[in-house]
Structure 1
Amino acid sequence: MGPTPADGQTEIDDVSESRRDGYVDLRDYAAIGDGRTIALIARDGRIDWLPIPAMHTAPLFSALLDQRRGGYLELRPTGPFTTQRDYVDGTNVLRTRFTTADGVVEVTDALVTGVAGRLPWAELARRIDGISGEVDMMWSVVPGDLFGEKKIERIETAHGPLLRAQAIGIALVGFEHGRIDAPDDGPGSDFDAPEFRGAFTTSAGSRHLLCLVGTDDEPIHLPDPRIVDEGVDRTIESWATWSREFNWDGPWADAVHRSALALKLLIYSPTGAIMAAATAGLPESLDGDKNWDYRFAWVRDLAYTTRALLRFGLREEPHAAVSWLLKALKANDGEMQIFFRLDGSLPDGTRKIKADGWRGIGPVVDGNPAAGQLQLGVFADMLAIMNGYAQGGNILDRATSDVLCSFADEACIRWEEKDAGMWELEEEQHYTSSKMGCWQAIESAIGLADLGAISPTTKQRATWEKNRQLIVDWVDENSWSEERGAYLMYPGGDALDASVLLHAPSGFDRGERMSRTIDRIVEELSDGTLVYRYSGVDQEEATFVACAFWVVSALTCVGRREEAIALMDRLVAQANDVGLYSEMISVDEHDFLGNLPQGLSHLALVNAAADIVDTADEQ
């Protein structure tokens, strides 16, 4: 299967038969969210991923990772069907149109928001409108226990049944939805696992609603389903209002806007943290053993996201993200970290989950092993975004000034050390991109000082300026290979590293050497469009989506604008039918791999588009 155009209206024959061994292609998923959690909806209408009520909650619906035990929310015609789908314009609300031999049905899926913003509970609404004819529909809500590994109980209350897994509780309300509550009301269901289910028939002009509500360690509010129905419209308007504040009149407008909406989904509104991706345990390699949890806030990804949001003229999200990150750092004695949990606490290790894995590719890991690594580039990420934040007219407090000065000091001290690099590798080396990152960190600190945003001593400033030049000299002497015609991944080898391309936009090198490095990377790490992370990794995993967009930005920065635009056009077409990207894409079949939606992929897209626009008057 080749890349699917992101036109939002792709029709697939016999979607009812699209599941292979119970799974669908990762390209088949669309995402909706409410600022606290995210649901992934397949093209056949089934929700295979939903941590409820929050992203850090052990997911009761994770059939994405295990069709037998993961749990899902199903809604579909009982007979064969095809689908067309798209997001409601300017929103993260999904509409899917089911066409059968007997009629047409439209389903609107939303994680509902309240009058004043995010609801204090999670509220998933599935509105079903009959368009024509009559369509027999069936639905089920079947929770699983992969992550929590706790028994799910069905509890009868005066207001109807609810399902509970320890502190997590879910209940279902609706109207005209044909709910079946009795365990013996239906052939073929032994109710070994508690569930909700039902069936109904649509007609032209009919409306039906399902609403799943969930809480964690608190009472459950049962909303009036008619008010939920109104809430779907309110949620659409809320997203549309946000989109009207979004400022982008450049090229690739649809792709940039959809990427911005995807990034907005990844912002955890209770704290302002920005998660790397919405899922855990999806394979980066078909051979397994690269199945990490990305539901954490990386300093790197947060920095890139904030940069993008600032470029779009947005104010609230960048401030919330920066404030959250600074508080998290200060709460941990001002020590730089690689990533945090969404509440600002430090990660607590990893554990393998008893799950088959997507299409049997495991093991599934809860957590991420990168915590505790030395990654020197993170100093650049932090200081660069604070430089951009201050340049945008924001004023830093004294405690923040002290923290940032200490990070610049640490970059001056530690840049000579080996580290794990951007790719979080087990073998520490003198990675070139890490040295360039330390240069960017110091350059950004000096920029902050020039703005008066931070207040280094005279001695500190002199140390920064000295080390800034020392890094340039070191990279010139050790990392450039005239024989290879490129910056090496690290001295002493001949491997290439796509993360070096980030330091064309950073300003480290926008000249001939960076231009030649681009050529070598395209020649050796890409198929002409998609790009692997570094030399040799093609034997282990698929191409990394963000790297290809980094090529676009680097081409733009070295003055090769026409090449950048041509590549950008090809890359935008690599999104799925609703404009989303995963972490990786296979070269041969253009299948999605890795977690999704992946923030770094969408960040690289919007920053590449912005780099092309920003340099238009310079070339």
Structure 2
Amino acid sequence: MTSVHQPHDTRRRPALHWGADGAGAGPVDERDADGYADLRSYAAIGDGRTIALIARDGRVDWLPLPEMDGVPVFGALLDAEQGGCIELCPVEEFTVDRAYVADTNVLTTTFTTASGSVRVTDSLNSGTAGRLPWSELARRIEGVDGHVELRAAVRPGTCLNTASPWVHQTARGAVLRVDDLTLAVRTLGARSVEDGDRRIEVRYATSPGSRHLLGLVGTEGEPLFLPPAEVIDAGVDRTIDNWSAWMRTFDWDGPWDTAVRRSALTLKLLLHAASGSMVAAATTSLPEGLGAEKMGAEKNWDYRYAWVRDSAYALTALFRFGLREETHGAISWLLSTIRRHGPEPQVVYTLDGGLVPTAESRDVPGWRGATPVVSGNDAAGQLQLGVFGDLFAIVALYVEHGNVLDAHTGRLLAGIADLACDRWRSKDSGMWELPEHRHYTTSKLGCWMALTKAVELAESGQVPGDDARWRSEAEHIRAWVEENCWSEERGAYVWYSGTDQLDASIVLHAISGFDRGERMSRTLDALRAELGAGPHLYRFTGAAKEEGVFLACSFWLVSALTLCGRVDEARDLMEELMSTPNDVGLLTEMLDPATGDLLGNLPQALSHLALVNAAITVSEASAAD
């Protein structure tokens, strides 16, 4: 462990790696001169409704309220000066050791100073019957040894420059108001509490065995319930028990146990409890670009929405882990949302099943100057043919696990299968949501997968109608891809018809079953030769010039190697990839292979889904040997 220096110390630290025990001991990521922490610095906690990101120095830099797709009332992640944060750390210089409480999303951080040590336990509390009807952040402070003074500040921000916070005095004490949000700070054992113009500051002094609390409760557009600080503190233990109970329903006895269990807990954070949808990531506008000179390259996106693709990959993992409520909730949300906006499925929806607004830029600095900062996502208006395959993969998997479709869903799917027959010949934006419309190979194969699964569902009596057309069009797609998208010269399936460039997403169609033979195996070798960077892959030819490696591709490659019969290679690759997560096991979307710096929004569902599905695939192949 090393000391935390002042925030304006800009010296770089080596990339942190996740040890075998999952603990977070190690160097403290320092903030740069403008107050931004490295993305590897963050741990995530959540309550099924929202997610908070906590840096290693104890500062909450991201907390949208009341929902994870709401305005970030604490948003210093994107605006260090005006974005707002919740500070809690010793007054003296300190070192840090942190880890999650076993089998939970409750975080413990031990700060050690020259005067002593103190443990902070961070929880977004849940209730006795699920999530609370208000937001409740608990930061329990326990004296370990010696005497430590701590300072805390609850400083709401401007919600990406859309609101101005203020402190309002009531007969019950001061509350913080930001637009329609009402927040209250609750303390236990505080030495002093001071109300400022736009912040509340608290001081604590610990001794061995002492117990203190910094709590925050909030509501939007409704009265604020003020629980006693002792009740908020007790909620930490209840929340730990709730997470532990959930993990007791989790069935996994395969390899890479620590990484798989942490990824499962992270995915649970990203499931929106109220609807059953899965958010792609907890944040917006964290850059995918490499280095300061690339941060204005407009590769900043808002990922606080639910992609059909992510739901498809999530169900594979959730079913394998024996989880029932989450699987049914996810598919029910998806099918009801498509009925609501259909008949053609969209690529992405809001967490409550609405239509995603178009992207709008916000006038804030962005993480380390990376702009634009956006809310909304223009992918919702794109044609992406892969969504047909994603939808049918979800439904087929649901049926495969012994469940039955209702009659309305069966008729809906029959109509969507007919749409896939008509749409597959169109150019689209592809899986990577690009502005260039082309005949992308994996887009065609998404339709192939949809029609293949539609035939299976019809044969099992789940979907009505004559499946002869679906079967015929699926064969036409296969023939088209084999004729137009295979390059013998490259020894690989190419990115799109008429090019010799490569696209890493083709590995998904070893997973889908389209090809697990010689052609796919040769393609995997070509991808590693051209798109590889250590154990990782870039998304497509030319991507290395402007972005990091795409972490999901790296883990998809593990699955593809396994399914092509190259299990030993897959296992070795998976071992290499285990150094990718940060010290508490979280993954972003991308990584700079030259520095190990994490890039893109976090925590990223697709990266964690790819990790767990890779582990499942290798485990099942090893068991079959």
Superposition deviation, residue 617 in structure 1: 4.7
Asked whether the 8 Å contact 2:417–2:451 carries over to 1, the reply is: yes
- What does residue 471 of structure 1 align with? 477
Asked whether the 8 Å contact 2:195–2:201 carries over to 1, the reply is: no
**How many angstroms apart in 2 are the aligned matches of 1:107 and 1:48?**
16
- What does residue 215 of structure 1 align with? 219
- What does residue 493 of structure 1 align with? 499
Q: Output the amino acid matched with 1:605.
A: L
Per mean C-alpha deviation after superposition, the further-off stretch among 169-178 and 487-496 is 169-178
Deviation sequence 1:158-178 (CA, Å, 0-9, x none) = 111111122111111121123
**How many angstroms apart in 1 are the aligned matches of 2:433 and 2:400?**
30
* Residue 264, structure 1, aligned to residue 268, structure 2: yes
Superposition deviation, residue 181 in structure 1: 2.8
Deviation sequence 1:64-87 (CA, Å, 0-9, x none) = 011011100000000110000000
**How many angstroms apart in 2 are the aligned matches of 1:215 and 1:535?**
47
Superposition deviation, residue 505 in structure 1: 1.1
- What does residue 187 of structure 1 align with? none
Asked whether the 8 Å contact 1:146–1:355 carries over to 2, the reply is: no
Superposition deviation, residue 154 in structure 1: 1.5
* Residue 36, structure 1, aligned to residue 68, structure 2: no
Superposition deviation, residue 146 in structure 1: 3.5
Cα distance, 1:563–1:14 mapped onto 2, change above 3 Å:
closer
* Residue 441, structure 1, aligned to residue 454, structure 2: no
- What does residue 538 of structure 2 align with? 532
Deviation sequence 1:435-481 (CA, Å, 0-9, x none) = 111111111111112222212x22xx110110111111111100000
**How many angstroms apart in 2 are the aligned matches of 1:553 and 1:14?**
34
4+ aligned runs moved over 3 Å, structure 1: 6-15, 17-20
Q: Percent identity at matched positions?
A: 52
- What does residue 3 of structure 2 align with? none
* Residue 378, structure 1, aligned to residue 350, structure 2: no
- What does residue 452 of structure 1 align with? 461
Equivalent position to 1:102, from 110, 115, 118: 115
Equivalent position to 1:86, from 99, 119, 142: 99
Equivalent position to 1:309, from 309, 313, 318: 318
- What does residue 252 of structure 2 align with? 248
**How many angstroms apart in 1 are the aligned matches of 2:488 and 2:417?**
31
Q: Output the amino acid matched with 2:271.
A: I
* Residue 72, structure 1, aligned to residue 85, structure 2: yes
Equivalent position to 1:46, from 44, 59, 82: 59
Q: Output the amino acid matched with 2:419.
A: E
Superposition deviation, residue 9 in structure 1: 3.2
Secondary structure at 1:424's aligned position in 2?
Answer: coil
* Residue 599, structure 1, aligned to residue 608, structure 2: no
**How many angstroms apart in 1 are the aligned matches of 2:229 and 2:543?**
51
**How many angstroms apart in 2 are the aligned matches of 1:326 and 1:148?**
36
Superposition deviation, residue 12 in structure 1: 3.8
* Residue 203, structure 1, aligned to residue 217, structure 2: no
Q: Output the amino acid matched with 2:227.
A: P
* Residue 544, structure 1, aligned to residue 553, structure 2: no
**How many angstroms apart in 1 are the aligned matches of 2:82 and 2:622?**
53
**How many angstroms apart in 1 are the aligned matches of 2:34 and 2:368?**
7
- What does residue 188 of structure 1 align with? none
Runs (5+) with no aligned partner, structure 2: 1-13
**How many angstroms apart in 2 are the aligned matches of 1:494 and 1:235?**
53
* Residue 361, structure 1, aligned to residue 370, structure 2: yes
Q: Output the amino acid matched with 1:418.
A: K
Superposition deviation, residue 5 in structure 1: 2.5
Superposition deviation, residue 55 in structure 1: 1.1
- What does residue 10 of structure 2 align with? none
Secondary structure at 1:370's aligned position in 2?
Answer: helix
**How many angstroms apart in 1 are the aligned matches of 2:212 and 2:584?**
25
* Residue 9, structure 1, aligned to residue 14, structure 2: no
- Structure-1-length-normalised TM-score: 0.96
Q: Output the amino acid matched with 2:17.
A: T
Q: Output the amino acid matched with 1:62.
A: G
**How many angstroms apart in 2 are the aligned matches of 1:145 and 1:451?**
55
Secondary structure at 1:615's aligned position in 2?
Answer: helix
Q: Output the amino acid matched with 1:270.
A: A
Q: Output the amino acid matched with 1:513.
A: R
Q: Output the amino acid matched with 2:25.
A: E
* Residue 232, structure 1, aligned to residue 236, structure 2: yes
* Residue 275, structure 1, aligned to residue 279, structure 2: yes
Deviation sequence 1:87-109 (CA, Å, 0-9, x none) = 00000000000010110100000
Asked whether the 8 Å contact 1:375–1:422 carries over to 2, the reply is: yes
Superposition deviation, residue 14 in structure 1: 6.3
Superposition deviation, residue 20 in structure 1: 4.2
Asked whether the 8 Å contact 1:281–1:365 carries over to 2, the reply is: yes
Superposition deviation, residue 618 in structure 1: 4.5
Secondary structure at 1:39's aligned position in 2?
Answer: strand
**How many angstroms apart in 2 are the aligned matches of 1:45 and 1:230?**
21
Secondary structure at 2:378's aligned position in 1?
Answer: coil
Deviation sequence 1:312-364 (CA, Å, 0-9, x none) = 11000010111011111111133211111111110121111111111111111
**How many angstroms apart in 2 are the aligned matches of 1:466 and 1:151?**
60
Q: Output the amino acid matched with 1:11.
A: A
Asked whether the 8 Å contact 1:58–1:148 carries over to 2, the reply is: no
- What does residue 332 of structure 1 align with? 341
Secondary structure at 2:108's aligned position in 1?
Answer: strand
**How many angstroms apart in 1 are the aligned matches of 2:27 and 2:279?**
35
Cα distance, 1:60–1:347 mapped onto 2, change above 3 Å:
same
Asked whether the 8 Å contact 1:146–1:354 carries over to 2, the reply is: no
Superposition deviation, residue 237 in structure 1: 0.5
Asked whether the 8 Å contact 1:299–1:339 carries over to 2, the reply is: yes
Deviation sequence 1:116-141 (CA, Å, 0-9, x none) = 01000000000000000000100001
Deviation sequence 1:541-564 (CA, Å, 0-9, x none) = 111100000110100010000000
Deviation sequence 1:560-585 (CA, Å, 0-9, x none) = 00000000011121110001100001
**How many angstroms apart in 1 are the aligned matches of 2:16 and 2:517?**
34
Cα distance, 1:313–1:9 mapped onto 2, change above 3 Å:
closer
Q: Give the paired residue count.
A: 606
**How many angstroms apart in 1 are the aligned matches of 2:604 and 2:192?**
36
Deviation sequence 1:376-425 (CA, Å, 0-9, x none) = 00000000110000111111111111111112111111111111100000
Equivalent position to 2:127, from 97, 104, 114: 114
Secondary structure at 1:181's aligned position in 2?
Answer: strand
**How many angstroms apart in 2 are the aligned matches of 1:200 and 1:472?**
67
- What does residue 138 of structure 1 align with? 151
Asked whether the 8 Å contact 1:14–1:81 carries over to 2, the reply is: no
Secondary structure at 1:274's aligned position in 2?
Answer: coil
Superposition deviation, residue 3 in structure 1: 5.2
Equivalent position to 1:175, from 178, 188, 196: 188
